[in-house]
Amino acid sequence: MSEPISQKPPPDDSEVKLKIYFLPNLLTAGNLFCGFIALTKIVEADPMSDNYFAQIKLSLAFILLACIFDLFDGRVARMGGVESPFGREFDSLADLVSFGVAPAAMAFAAGMRGGWDALFLIYFVGCGISRLARYNVTAEALSGRTDASVDPGTAKVTHFEGLPIPTSLALVAMVAIFAALGRWQASLPLGALVLGPFTLHPPAVLYFLHGSGMVSKTLRIPKP
């Protein structure tokens, strides 16, 4: 009697999920890749060379491209019904590089290197980390609420608490404008102030304010 022909077992749930989740995670990887390339261009930029602004523009272009990837990865996941804790965490790590570390590095490269500048830039990145961590921890809990912050028809959160980290593009644009005008290093707008033991370049205060906006619990931004 011949043995029955073996058949390949159907894929389990984990295999199906991996295939479904591939596209949004690929878009998130694109966000991370663009953020990393922007960082390398910032490091390579030499303020004393004639092509400094070209390097800054290239960094800005990659950060803008990262923003496009960030815009679509979540939408693709929601359209396919494949949102997951992994995707949320992966997206946050990519956002931290593209919209937290890269803008701070661009400010440092532009000349915000005083003691107060460094503290404000570190604070900005720390607020970005806190903003992303808080969002990940509270997103699921908020979606189960029934108050005015949640759309009863979709059970989705209707607003961001604090500034979303991609809004740091405004700071990136500011630094790019400085570079276009030749206002970097010793020529940064408003000069340098010596306050106590450290030096402060006033544009760095905007990083402090933006970081504070990201961790604010009273500032609410409607979700698109």
| 114, pLDDT greater than 60 | yes
> Strand 159-161 and strand 156-157: pairing?
unpaired
How many domains in the chain?
A: 1
Within-domain flag for 66: yes
Taking Cα atoms as reference points, which of 32, 172, 35, 62 lies closest to residue 108?
Answer: 172
Within-domain flag for 83: yes
Identify the band that residue 109 occupies on the pLDDT scale cut at 50, 70 and 90.
Answer: confident
Identify the band that residue 73 occupies on the pLDDT scale cut at 50, 70 and 90.
Answer: confident
Q: Are the beta carbons of 133 and 184 closer than 8 angstroms? A: no
| CATH code of the domain containing 104 | 1.20.120.1760
Helix, strand, or coil (residue 87): helix
- Tell me what pLDDT residue 148 has: 43
- Tell me what pLDDT residue 16 has: 44
| 20, pLDDT greater than 50 | no
Within-domain flag for 1: no
Taking Cα atoms as reference points, which of 131, 125, 134 lies closest to residue 98?
Answer: 125
For 198, phi then psi, to 5°, come to -120, 165
Most confident of 113-127, 162-176, 178-192: 113-127
Within-domain flag for 63: yes
Q: Are the beta carbons of 41 and 58 closer than 8 angstroms? A: yes
DSSP alpha helices (H): ranges in the chain?
13-44, 52-79, 85-96, 102-110, 115-143, 169-180, 204-215
Within-domain flag for 4: no
Identify the band that residue 1 occupies on the pLDDT scale cut at 50, 70 and 90.
Answer: very low
Within-domain flag for 6: no
Within-domain flag for 82: yes
Dump pLDDT digits (tens) for 201-215: 999 999 999 999 999
Domain range enclosing 51:
14-222
- Tell me what pLDDT residue 115 has: 95
| 93, pLDDT greater than 70 | yes
Nearest-angstrom CA–CA distance, 137 and 217: 14
Total Cβ atoms within 10 A of residue 185: 16
Evaluate the CA torsion angle 22, 23, 25, 26 in order and state its sign.
positive
Nearest-angstrom CA–CA distance, 65 and 59: 10
Taking Cα atoms as reference points, which of 11, 107, 121 lies closest to residue 59?
Answer: 107
Within-domain flag for 7: no
Dump pLDDT digits (tens) for 25-59: 888 999 999 999 999 988 887 777 777 778 888 89
| 5, pLDDT greater than 70 | no
Identify the band that residue 18 occupies on the pLDDT scale cut at 50, 70 and 90.
Answer: very low
Identify the band that residue 138 occupies on the pLDDT scale cut at 50, 70 and 90.
Answer: confident
Please give the residue that has the higher pLDDT: either 157 or 98: 98
Identify the band that residue 150 occupies on the pLDDT scale cut at 50, 70 and 90.
Answer: very low
What value does the mean pLDDT of the chain take?
81
